[in-house]
Structure 1
Amino acid sequence: MYPVALSLNGRPVVVAGGGSVAERKVRALLDAGAAVTVVSPALSGGLAALAAAHRIAWQPRRYQRGDLAGALLAFAATDDDAANAAIAHDARDAGILVNDASDAGRGDFATPAVHRAGPLTVTVDSGGLSPSFTKRIRDELALQFDARYARAAATLGALRDRVQIVVPPDRRAAVMRHFAERDVDELAAMPPGAVEHEVERAVDTLAGVVPAETRPLICASRASLLAMTQTRAIMAALAEAGIASTVLNVTTRGDAVQDRSIAAIGTDNVFVKELELALRERRADYAVHSCKDLPSTLADDMTLAAVTKREDARDAYCSERYATFADLPPGARVGTSSPRRRAQLRALRPDLVYDDVRGNVDTRLRKLREGEYDAIVLACAGMNRLGLRAAYTVPFPVDQVTPAVAQGALGIETRDGDPLAARLDAVLGDPATSIAVRAERAFLRTLRGGCQAPVGAHATWADGRLQMGGAIAAADGTTVLRSTAAARLALGDVAAAEAVAVGLARELLAAGGTALLGGGPLTGRVVLLPRTQDRPSRIAPALREAGAEVIEAPDSAVARTALEGRVPHVVLFPSSGSVSVITEYLDGLRHDGHRPVIAAMGPSSSETAGAHGWHPDVVAASPEVGAFVQTVMLYLLENGA
């Protein structure tokens, strides 16, 4: 598909069909300003009303050859497949683009789902694969691109008109980029009378007359009370250091979907993606997150610039009727949507009923006060920042209910490579919290768990010593594996801290954590995949989904470092070139007497591997990714390798 924004204002369009499908298409065409003629023996109630109001022309009969004469576009939307096929054929003969509602393959174009906010039009298309999913995405975008964006777009139109009058042609693009990157709320609120002044100020700023630093930074934040409280605290700290900020409120999927638990939404970083998109599109300079919401591995183009001083990391029992968790009677209803909390609480009190509770902190406490729950469990950090409490609020010890990874800390995210990251860390970063949080994130990353996995970790650094505890729980609370680790290390030695965390995670996995986390058929296998290209691999994700740990290495040094002395169970050769990039590492394996399983993707890579003394144990029947992955998996499972 090649997307085109086509102006239909006043242009003739013919729609054959008078049912609900035709009506949807007609209404969208009228919204776009088209002159619509409908050909159909009968009309739906909505189309009949449009015809009576003379908003459409109506030919009350079946389609006839010649009805398309003079049309720019045609739509075949009858309930007769043969008629639709004839319309598509006639349109092609007449050189008219046609959309066939009954068979997308017969048509020339698809009609996307559309969201309009004033002059701004957002379209979503899935190529006809899933119209309902397309509409879902459209509805989610509508939450983001609301009336503010319509006002902002209108402001940009007025600014452009002024720019074209007073700015030399060679500088107009730079000035308009400057405005396009401004805070949406700021653009939406800009009065018409300010346009002239703003253009002059932008010209002076870009010319160096006004220092660029005078432009406030834009902070992307969720709009909830807790998120904004946290964000305002960050902005205040930056302001004290002479760095001004404005806020870009972003609605995330986790905020938009309130009728299901976070785990049921279907993704881990439900509070993160939209904020990262604002950074990626340069609508924001930095984003403030509750650090526990961040995935253990950030996108390649993002970085965790700073970690703030931690609030109380513990979870707290909250009730209006019962003083302690032990006082709850059997069968009492406890609200928590966290699989981690629920599993550890069940281990302590399997006789209670655990139900989901969604909403902001104040909403959850209101539900508790209104008697919907006998108790709920909340993070101490959120309540402390908001100054909220239940009648009885009692923190759980971290060795009873181990907190979520990075709970209580705020994470400041920026684009990777942005010099702003160092400035933010200098003002906001807390070294002791940062090294502890980065260790906890390495623990989670090693387990390959998301922020909704039944996994907890809590680390502290003080007086040159890192102490860390970790937990992996069965979802039903029947088993909770716990262990601790400690090491002396320098405050800035993040690599050493992460090594402690990785060791703790591997200890718990070996003690039965792999099974508790639902490991796949290749769980426990380490796969070395030499890489000769920069584009993302399709082999690695498929094997990781099956539970394998895949090390992607462009050379021997990277392979050696990533494997940390371990010997891979299998080495994959997807191409002839992949053999040579790790020859040095392979020679080291041979010298030490190690011989992993060797898998080649086809005859060429098999021959090259053999020439280097590594004759393949398994060769895919055809040099295709799917066949290669399946062949490797079957070999490993059948041979116990």
Structure 2
Amino acid sequence: MSRTLRIGTRASALALWQANWVKDQLEQRYPDLTVTLTKIKTQGDKILDVPLAMVGGKGLFVKEIQEAMLRHEVDIAVHSMKDVPTFFPEGTGLRCITEREDPRDIVVLKPGYASFADIRHKGRIGTSSLRRKAQLLNLRPDLEMVDIRGNVQTRINKLDEDNLDAVVLAAAGMHRLGFAAQIGEYFDPKVCLPAIGQGALGLESRIDDEETNSLIDFFNHAETAYAVTAERAVLSTLEGGCQVPIAAFGTVSGTELELTGLVSDVAGRELLKKTLTGPVGQAAELGVTLAKQLLEMGAGRILNAVYGCETFKQDED
């Protein structure tokens, strides 16, 4: 029996690539299934002249799609996992996490540079990510960080338009959109820890829609799901969003999960990093434990300063 499945997606080039990839996979698996795309403009798409850190961070790219799902206007949503908050509206949930693309950050370099290390003293680096800014300033305090917004091509164009020496982006988006040839260098995660969930897609659906859920369950990739679950547990425990320099990155080897977490002040002067290993079946617990150890190392004080309030109470001696 044929049916139609409606995908809610943002209208950016990368979001449409991701939604169309899901559409193609579904149609290949279910020849009688008709899959349509519904383009939805989110708050994050409307605000392009202000850094994300100033307008709320996570949730800006998903809320309107979630609302459409609850109104039964779409059946599933395809999100970049790095944009997905750790909480969901009542009635919806994260059903699947897809196999991860390359999770690393990359730089597109101004012509004449062979590597990031070649960038001149006080070079200008384009990125709107506080996470990237903090880590790169920790490595090179002399650099000037310039806020840039927009889609991948728009940000690459900023190299010339804003007289930048480099632009920092995610490898996954560059690969998916066919811009891999413009990558000047990949950052080792030990140098620049990726965003939580970077490179993975998340499929959100209505919890009570059993038919749809059974159709999309094949997308879930166990290893990626373990890693991203642990990363998101770090984020949730630290109550973080795009407005705070927090990062976590998990890798799976057999039944073991290695998880690295990071908290930094915005300027990258005080950067805390910790790595733990544990069984994949305890991914969420590992993330919580890592976050608590970062707090014990002093992350609470850093985060309180960034948040501008006493979110994390300090124990009195």
Aligning the two structures, in what range does the TM-score lie when normalised by the shorter sequence?
A: over 0.9
Determine helix, strand or coil for the equivalent of 1:517: helix
Determine helix, strand or coil for the equivalent of 2:145: strand
Partner of 2:304: 518
Matched, 1:446 2:237: yes
Q: Percent identity?
A: 39
Partner of 1:273: 63
State how far apart, in whole Å, the 2-side matches of 1:486 and 1:396 are: 22
Q: Does the aligned pair in 2 maintain the 1:481–1:513 contact within 8 Å? A: yes
Structure 1 counterpart of 2:165, one-letter code: D
Q: Larger relative CO (CA 8 A, sep 6+): 1 or 2?
A: 2
Residue 137 (structure 2) aligned to one of 346, 354, 359 = 346
Structure 2 counterpart of 1:361, one-letter code: V
State how far apart, in whole Å, the 1-side matches of 2:257 and 2:215 are: 25
When residues 408 and 511 of structure 1 are mapped into structure 2, their CA distance, relative to the original with a 3 A threshold, is: same
Partner of 1:499: 285
State how far apart, in whole Å, the 2-side matches of 1:286 and 1:473 are: 35
1:245-275 deviations in Å (ceiling 9; x for gaps)? 1011000111111111111223431101111
Matched, 1:463 2:254: yes
When residues 414 and 392 of structure 1 are mapped into structure 2, their CA distance, relative to the original with a 3 A threshold, is: closer
1:579-616 deviations in Å (ceiling 9; x for gaps)? xxxxxxxxxxxxxxxxxxxxxxxxxxxxxxxxxxxxxx
Determine helix, strand or coil for the equivalent of 1:238: helix
Alignment of 1:592-611 (within 5 A): none
- Report how far residue 399 of structure 1 moved: 1.4
Partner of 1:308: 98
Q: If each structure's helix is expressed as a fraction of its own residues, which one has the higher value?
A: 1
When residues 302 and 328 of structure 1 are mapped into structure 2, their CA distance, relative to the original with a 3 A threshold, is: same
Alignment of 1:137-286 (within 5 A): 211=1, 214-242=2-30, 243-286=33-76
Q: How many pairs are equivalent?
A: 311
When residues 392 and 498 of structure 1 are mapped into structure 2, their CA distance, relative to the original with a 3 A threshold, is: closer
Q: Does the aligned pair in 1 maintain the 2:244–2:266 contact within 8 Å? A: no
State how far apart, in whole Å, the 2-side matches of 1:390 and 1:326 are: 19
Residue 274 (structure 2) aligned to one of 483, 493, 512 = 483
State how far apart, in whole Å, the 1-side matches of 2:243 and 2:188 are: 20
Q: Does the aligned pair in 2 maintain the 1:320–1:392 contact within 8 Å? A: no
Q: Does the aligned pair in 2 maintain the 1:305–1:424 contact within 8 Å? A: no
Determine helix, strand or coil for the equivalent of 1:244: strand
When residues 257 and 304 of structure 1 are mapped into structure 2, their CA distance, relative to the original with a 3 A threshold, is: same
Structure 2 counterpart of 1:382, one-letter code: G
1:509-560 deviations in Å (ceiling 9; x for gaps)? 11010111126436237xxxxxxxxxxxxxxxxxxxxxxxxxxxxxxxxxxx
State how far apart, in whole Å, the 2-side matches of 1:406 and 1:329 are: 32
State how far apart, in whole Å, the 2-side matches of 1:422 and 1:396 are: 36
- Report how far residue 391 of structure 1 moved: 4.4
Q: If each structure's strand is expressed as a fraction of its own residues, which one has the higher value?
A: 2
Residue 122 (structure 2) aligned to one of 331, 354, 357 = 331
TM-score by length of 1: 0.47
Greater C-alpha radius of gyration = 1
Structure 2 counterpart of 1:247, one-letter code: L
1:616-639 deviations in Å (ceiling 9; x for gaps)? xxxxxxxxxxxxxxxxxxxxxxxx
Alignment of 1:522-537 (within 5 A): 523-524=312-313
Determine helix, strand or coil for the equivalent of 1:487: strand
Partner of 2:173: 382
Unaligned segments of structure 1, at least 5 residues? 1-210, 526-568, 570-639
Report the RMSD for the aligned CA atoms in angstroms. Answer: 1.9
Determine helix, strand or coil for the equivalent of 1:518: helix
Partner of 1:599: none
TM-score by length of 2: 0.93
Unaligned segments of structure 2, at least 5 residues? none
When residues 290 and 325 of structure 1 are mapped into structure 2, their CA distance, relative to the original with a 3 A threshold, is: same
